[in-house]
A and B are shown apart, each in its own frame.
Chain A
Amino acid sequence: MSDHSIDSPAYGLENKPILRVSLVYMLTGFVIFLIMGILGLMMRLDHAGWWVLSPDWFYRIMTLHGAGMVAALLMAAMGGIIAILNKTVKLSARWLWSAYVIYSLSVPFLLYAVLIGGYAGGWTALDPLPYHGLTWGKSAGVMMYVTFLAVGVGFLIYCVHLFDVTRRKAGGVRRALAWEVIFSRKSNATPYEPEVAELAAMATSIIGIVTVFGGILVLAPLFAEAAGLLKSVNPLYSKNFIMLFGHSIANVTIYIAVALVYGLLPVYTKRGGHTTKFVALAWNFTIILVLTPPPHHLYQDFAQPLGLAIIGQVASWSIAPSVLLLTILGNLSYIYRSGMRWAVPSVMIALGFWGWVFGGIGGTIDSAIPANNLLHNTLWVPAHFHAYYLLGVTTFVWGYLFYLISDLSGVKEKASTKIAAWLYGIAGAGFLLVFFLSGADSVPRRYAVHLPEWNLLAAIAVPFVLLTIFSLLWIIWDMMRGLSGAWRNTGAPKLE
């Protein structure tokens, strides 16, 4: 049936226009990530007291950085998975380009909101702040929500397409979700086994569709308010849905990134690549585990019904056993005693599993309601999700991008670039550790002005940030050699 062969590349070469789309998604995300990283450095320099920004500009930069990073990494991860899907399903370049264009409209909207409109309300745009910013106008707040809308609609188009394609190939949603594998009995006929990437695409597209739907439930009344049709939106309602949207769109990114790992690991370990019962369970749980924890963002809203807080807590803690025992243990067993070949992408994957769990520990602790009472909105929170992102998502996604470019172009990586990859992990871990320490020191997040006694930890973070940037530049320098060759090897639409 399928191309399970472990020696085949971790992307489909047949349909070259799809590979071009994939590269464009990933490179767009990569470039935005680099720029946003510089903005992150600026914020940490401000915290250290070395380059003091005006509060207005600090918060504008914070808004750009948050929104830009989340959107960029989601887009890059989306791009990676289509290259893998291209092996076994027929995707439509037209759909994927449409999603890309609409999604990318978010860039001018965001820039307009922040740079021209003066919007500095944070990427989460928590109602009622965007329309009541005092230093920016209501129209800038509306622009921010339009930015959300562009990302949401672009992502929705992408998800609907993936959903449709994988459902049709499997002959039904349940089969695409590998329920036949999960519920198979020995006696039965061989169950239908979707490719891991197809299963992941089905699971994440369901999450994406629900997420965007949740987003629309809050954007619609907010636009109505802007148009004067509603006096205001209930702030508890809007907070719940904004958090559902924001949390899920950020959280789903790591799972899409993990799907890349399932595709890529076999290249280096000669193991895995099959939709086993545990892999199938992992992806089915993912749907629930992304969509149910968002109430943990409202633990400190005592007006929230207690039941929702409990759901948030139970859901957040359900992630630990299921991710550890299914996804992490499963992937580590592909690596354990496998003779895995070390190369930049495999180093990045190994680092990613370390960082993902590191961030997960921070998150699991913070999602205990009493601990959250002491950590909520301190730097512990960015520490947790930066660990997820910087040492989980980015290592997986850029590892895959590096692989894709070098394999497509045939330009082999330099042996020494592996050092840069390890350096990225070490530097990232140092940066994250002091973030956590700052959080445990009660340093608030989203503060443009820090007390002198908070400066030291931020100052320690700076060299680590510089080192991550240095190691990235080193990796880029190697990756660039293959870029034009890879580009030429994708692309030109086939004559049909």
Chain B
Amino acid sequence: MTQKDILIIFLVLSAIWTGIWLKVILSIPNIQAEEEVTANANTLRRRLAFPMIATLIVLLTAVLYWSPYPIFRERTIGKPQVTVNVDSFQWGWVLDTKEIPLNKVVEFNVSSRDVNHGFAIYNPEGRLVTQTQAMPGYVNQLIFKFDEPGEYTIRCLEYCGVSHHAMIATFTVN
């Protein structure tokens, strides 16, 4: 699942919704009694309620399984083989390595010395591939496997003051 898939889902749902909405708008001149419309709406409501809720419940379980939390990623990606410690401050990153091996399961232990920061990894094409927050007093464990070599960029994704956008670091995967 990448941003592109997400965008497609979004555009398809939006198009369907726009179609429904247009149908309602275009129906306006073609008058029907309120009781009939209400009765039809109630039928529709009854028919839709169960499938909608059922779909959401099924999706919900799938969604949880694919969530980025360590207990799930240990299953979906694997147990960590490499550890990288990440510290952050206004405005910079401290990583204990600049080289990360390809195709190995990496765990990032992310924290902050001052305010909240966001540890977001952008791949060589500039796409955000995963993230976690960096919160003072806490260590967030982010598990990830890099299957593409190259230079990755860390961007801060939690607003942390006026040099937030400049809070950048890089590492190499090979």
Contacts and interface: CB of A to CB of B under 8 A. Distances in A.
B27 A337 contact: yes
A325 B48 contact: yes
B3 A354 contact: no
Interface in B1-46: 1-4, 6-7, 9-10, 13-14, 17-18, 21, 24-25, 27-32, 34, 37-38, 40-42, 44-45
Contacts of B44: 329
10 contacts: A55-B163, A134-B161, A135-B162, A301-B140, A313-B64, A329-B41, A329-B44, A329-B45, A336-B28, A353-B21
Interface of A: 55-56, 59, 120-122, 126, 128-129, 132-135, 234-236, 239, 271, 278, 298, 300-303, 306, 309-310, 313-314, 317, 320-321, 324-326, 329-330, 332-333, 335-340, 350, 353-354, 357-358, 361-362, 365, 368-371, 373-378, 436-437, 440-442, 444, 446-449, 451, 453
A55 B159 CA distance: 12
Interface residues of B, number: 78
B165 A448 contact: yes
A56 B162 contact: yes
A453 B3 CA distance: 17
Contacts of B94: none
6 closest cross-chain pairs (CB), A and B: A333-B41, A442-B128, A337-B32, A303-B138, A440-B7, A369-B67
A317 B60 contact: yes
Interface of B: 1-4, 6-7, 9-10, 13-14, 17-18, 21, 24-25, 27-32, 34, 37-38, 40-42, 44-45, 48-49, 52-53, 56, 59-60, 63-64, 66-71, 90, 114-116, 118, 120, 122, 126-133, 135-142, 155, 157-166
B126 A135 contact: no
B132 to A, nearest CB: 5
Given A317-B60, A321-B52, A338 B34 contact: yes
Contacts of B30: 337
Given A134-B161, A332-B24, A449-B165, A235 B114 contact: no
B6 A374 contact: yes
A47 to B, nearest CB: 11
A326 B135 CA distance: 39
Given A302-B69, A321-B49, A370-B68, 16 more contacts: A55-B165, A56-B162, A59-B161, A303-B139, A303-B140, A320-B56, A329-B41, A337-B37, A361-B13, A361-B14, A361-B17, A369-B64, A370-B67, A373-B68, A373-B131, A444-B157
B133 A441 contact: no
B1 A370 contact: yes
Contact of B155 (A314, A436, A444, A453): A444
A77 to B, nearest CB: 23
Nearest to B156: A444
Which of B37, B131, B159 has the most chain A CB atoms closer than 10 A to its own CB? Answer: B159
Nearest to B29: A339
A468 B133 CA distance: 35
Contact of B6 (A59, A235, A371): A371
A480 to B, nearest CB: 29
B126 A453 contact: yes
A454 to B, nearest CB: 9
A120 B56 contact: no
Contacts of A310: 64
Contacts of B24: 332, 335-336
